[in-house]
Amino acid sequence: ANLPQEKIRGGGDKPAAMETPRRPESWVEISESVSRLCSFDAGGGGGVSVKLIQDNRMAHDKLVDSFLNKFFPSGYPYSVNEGYLTYTKFRALQHFSSAMLHVLSTQSLLFAAGLRPTPAQATAVSWILKDGMQHAGKLICSGMGARMDSEPKSWRIFADVLYDFGTALDFISPLCPQLFLEVAGLGNFAKGMAVVAARATRLPIYSSFAKEGNLSDLFAKGEAISTLFNVMGIGAGIGLSSTVCSTTQGKLIIGPLLSAVHIWGVVQEMRATPINTLNPQRTAMVVADFIKSGKVSSPAELRYREDLLFPNRLIEEAGSVKVGQPFRRVLSPRLVEELRSTFPNEKFLLTQKSDKAYMVLEQSATGEDALRGWLVAAFASEMERSGAGPRDTVLNDAYQKMESVFPMFVSEVKSRGWYTGQFLDGNHSRIAYAKSE
């Protein structure tokens, strides 16, 4: 009788017999919402053929998928709760009607100022100088949502830098009146991108402080504080504009000082934010601390050590892992067979080249899978530095060591407040093995 095979996870009992994993004849790589069907060339020469799956679709299907990828969450409709489409429809209607009202209000303000603009002139002023370029910036930035999920703090800082850049262009626009349209348009374009990045990162930042399901209350109170100090800032700005900043020269002196204070403040905000989701940098830091001290750091303990300027830096103590490189570029057919034998039933493949380790994750890989791969890389790097043996042997020994410590390690990770149900690697490449027919 055939005995059922048990999946090896977290140091469980190994099956009595196991088939040697075969090299996948084909697989699907998913990156930047584009799927590619890849396969090894016949004859085992090591070549890889790549085909865009979308090329087989009709133009109408491509257009619909492009629209969904741009304006709906990844995985829609399965990634959202019931009612999302209805909400989106009415939200679109709300913004459409609001935009029309804004054009009419702009015309009314110009009329009140003593001008007599035509409806077309009011529309042009509102659309080109403000709304048009801002909306263009918002549309461009909307495609970077996955990266913002992975690194919300870095993107929040980038949003404020962009906004200050747009404000600086506003300051210098009186110096070049002949280029007013271009300068003002570019400034509003930068501000549009900044608005999307700031709003998109607001929720994960607020969520990091929420306890016992109080996210709505936390959000409401945070917005109340923002509103209060915005009103106070407007009052102070009016006072400056009528005194030391009444001239362009005054603005060019005070503006950079206020911008420096602004950026410094947001950097301190982000450093104080204890994000508890796993991304490449935080995963590497958790593993590095465990390798060095045997302890797992909490989100609060790691927050001030995160590199917000260069979040993609590699950490040597964690194995110098580079995640999300295209499968076809880092693995050869021979390596695929070996690695799937070394890492049976895992949702990652790991290979070492020079001083880096390259990890490829399956599409359904979670934070726990990423932690398993990172631990293997860290143990292998540690063994290799101590001269434990050749690289192939070291990788296998590192995997066995990971299996022995992982149950205790992941239990400690969860108890320290980390969320392991998801791994946020931005738009990096993942794989899904094609089912053999």
Q: How far is CA 166 from the centre of its chain?
A: 23
Q: Answer for the pair 129, 185: CB distance below 8 angstroms, yes or no.
A: yes
Answer CATH for 84-272 from 3.20.20.70, 1.20.1250.20, 3.60.70.12, 3.30.450.40 = 1.20.1250.20
**pTM (2 decimals)?**
0.75
Say how many CA atoms lie within 13 Å of 377 toward its Cβ: 32
Taking the CA atoms of 369, 371, 372 and 376 in sequence, report the sign of the dihedral they define: positive
CA distance 198 to 137: 13
What pLDDT is stored for residue 107 in this prediction? 46
What pLDDT is stored for residue 3 in this prediction? 43
Q: How many helices (H) and strands (E) does the chain have?
A: 15, 9
Peptide bond into 77 cis (omega under 30): yes
CA distance 169 to 190: 10
Q: Answer for the pair 432, 363: CB distance below 8 angstroms, yes or no.
A: yes
Q: Answer for the pair 148, 200: CB distance below 8 angstroms, yes or no.
A: yes
N-to-C CA span, the chain: 26
Q: In the β-sheet with 356-361, what is the strand arrangement from edge to edge?
A: 321-323, 356-361, 348-353
Domain boundaries for CATH 1.20.1250.20 within the chain: 84-272
352 contact partners, CB below 8 Å, separation of at least 6: 358, 377, 380, 384, 391, 395
Q: Answer for the pair 398, 380: CB distance below 8 angstroms, yes or no.
A: yes
223 contact partners, CB below 8 Å, separation of at least 6: none
Residue spans of alpha helices (H) in 299-342 = 299-302, 327-330, 333-342
CA-atom Rg of the chain in angstroms: 27
Q: Which residue(s) pair with 278 in the sheet?
A: 423
The 3-state DSSP class for residue 277 equals strand
Q: What is the pLDDT along the chain (437 residues), one digit of tens a residue?
A: 444 444 444 444 444 444 555 555 677 777 655 677 777 766 655 567 777 665 555 677 777 776 666 666 655 666 555 566 775 667 576 556 555 544 444 444 444 444 555 555 554 554 455 566 777 777 777 777 778 888 999 998 999 899 889 888 878 877 887 777 777 788 888 888 988 898 889 888 888 887 767 778 878 888 778 878 887 888 888 788 778 877 778 888 888 888 888 888 888 988 888 899 999 999 999 999 999 999 999 998 998 999 998 888 899 889 899 998 887 787 777 778 778 888 888 999 888 887 888 898 988 899 999 999 999 999 988 888 887 776 667 888 899 999 999 999 999 999 999 999 999 988 678 887 766 54
What pLDDT is stored for residue 10 in this prediction? 45
Strand 34-40 to 48-52 pairing: antiparallel
The 3-state DSSP class for residue 3 equals coil
Q: What angle do CA 300, 303, 305 make, to 5 degrees?
A: 130
343-366: per-residue pLDDT in tens? Answer: 888 999 888 887 888 898 988 899
